[in-house]
């Protein structure tokens, strides 16, 4: 009886139904009518992308002068998984009760958190999921935490107003959610907030957290934030980070 082949982390490949088959599925549109020539062009594209055994599963007319393709191919590229390093949010995942307990015992006062959807962005779905009482996917929002004073400022908050508010309310952390990303508007707005905070001497007094469907932690750090959270983030992920970062800073101050 032969055993199934085990994964080789030094030479990682996509998995279809057999280890190391390298199966990949891709879909795209070519701005030409479906035709045998269009099909061949699609095959050649896939080959140039490094795929072998290219199979055109679908070629369909998606409008006059547009051919849509679904393609399968096998890749020979491999990745050394053991050498991969990723910048990650540095915090242990904790539950709401644990977080409340830590704040109560180690900080002794409520942490003040302001959340907003900034600039012209009116899509509050993300900030609402993190802040509002109800939360997201069974994970209660920050408003529900006994030891957090979390306030959702809603949509279209200007960066300068957000900082004014942070000063007025003595905030400990700012959460910014951006959904609209056309022309990289989210990145411009993130950077603008940090620039303004620096000018006002607020950069290191506050914990800056970014969020949104197209936001990643490395992108946020690049924009000058302390951390960033993307799709699928739960309120307790964000709270875990803020509490840990707050305590970390306090300890650094003592040193």
- Please name the residues in contact with 20: beta carbons below 8 A apart, sequence gap of 6 or more: 5, 8, 11, 13
Are 126 and 186 in contact by the 8 Å Cβ rule? The answer is no
Region at 119 (left for phi over 0; alpha for psi -120 to 50; beta for the rest): left
Minimum distance of another protein from residue 211's CB (angstroms): 13
Minimum distance of another protein from residue 108's CB (angstroms): 32
Sheet holding 67-75, edge to edge: 23-30, 67-75, 51-61
Q: What's the CA gap between 239 and 244, in Å, rounded? A: 9
> How far lies 52's CA from each of 25, 80, 107, 250, in Å?
12, 21, 58, 55
Q: Assign 222 to helix, strand or coil.
A: helix
Minimum distance of another protein from residue 59's CB (angstroms): 12
Centroid of chain to Cα 7: 28
Our CB check for another protein shows the closer of 157 and 166 to be 157
Our CB check for another protein shows the closer of 100 and 189 to be 189
Identify any residues that bridge with 136 across adjacent strands, giving them in sequence order: 139
Minimum distance of another protein from residue 123's CB (angstroms): 9
Our CB check for another protein shows the closer of 13 and 178 to be 178
Say whether 134 is catalytic.
yes
Q: What values do phi and psi take at 189, rounded to 5?
A: -70, -40
Minimum distance of another protein from residue 41's CB (angstroms): 16
Our CB check for another protein shows the closer of 136 and 147 to be 136
Our CB check for another protein shows the closer of 115 and 226 to be 115
Q: Binding residues for another protein, per CB under 8 A?
A: 27-29, 60, 62-64, 66, 68, 120-122, 124-125, 128, 132, 134, 154-156, 180-183, 185, 213, 231-232
Catalytic residue among 11, 93, 104, 134: 134
Are 118 and 157 in contact by the 8 Å Cβ rule? The answer is yes
Q: What values do phi and psi take at 155, rounded to 5?
A: -95, 160
Active site members: 134
């Amino acid at each position: 009886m032969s055993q199934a082949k085990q994964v080789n982390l030094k030479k990682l490949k996509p998995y279809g139904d057999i280890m190391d088959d390298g199966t990949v599925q891709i879909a795209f549109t070519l701005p030409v009518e479906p035709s045998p020539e269009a099909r061949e062009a699609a095959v050649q594209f896939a080959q140039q992308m490094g795929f072998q055994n290219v199979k055109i599963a679908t070629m369909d007319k998606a409008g006059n002068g547009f051919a849509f393709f679904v393609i399968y191919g096998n890749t020979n590229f491999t990745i050394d998984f053991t050498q991969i390093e990723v910048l990650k949010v540095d915090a242990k995942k904790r539950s709401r009760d644990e977080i409340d307990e830590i704040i109560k015992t180690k900080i002794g006062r409520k942490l003040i958190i302001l959340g907003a959807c900034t600039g012209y962005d009116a899509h509050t779905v993300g900030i609402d999921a993190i802040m509002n009482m109800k939360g997201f996917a069974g994970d209660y929002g920050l408003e529900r935490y006994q030891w957090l004073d979390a306030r959702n400022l809603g949509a279209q908050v200007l960066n300068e107003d957000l900082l004014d508010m942070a000063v007025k309310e003595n905030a400990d952390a700012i959460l910014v959610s951006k959904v609209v990303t056309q022309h990289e508007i989210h990145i411009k707005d993130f950077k603008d907030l940090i620039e303004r905070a620096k000018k006002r001497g607020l950069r290191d007094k506050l914990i800056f957290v970014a969020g949104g469907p197209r936001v990643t932690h490395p992108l946020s750090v690049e924009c000058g934030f302390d951390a960033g959270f993307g799709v699928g983030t739960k309120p307790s992920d964000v709270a875990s980070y803020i509490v840990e970062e707050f305590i970390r800073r306090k300890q650094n101050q003592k040193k």
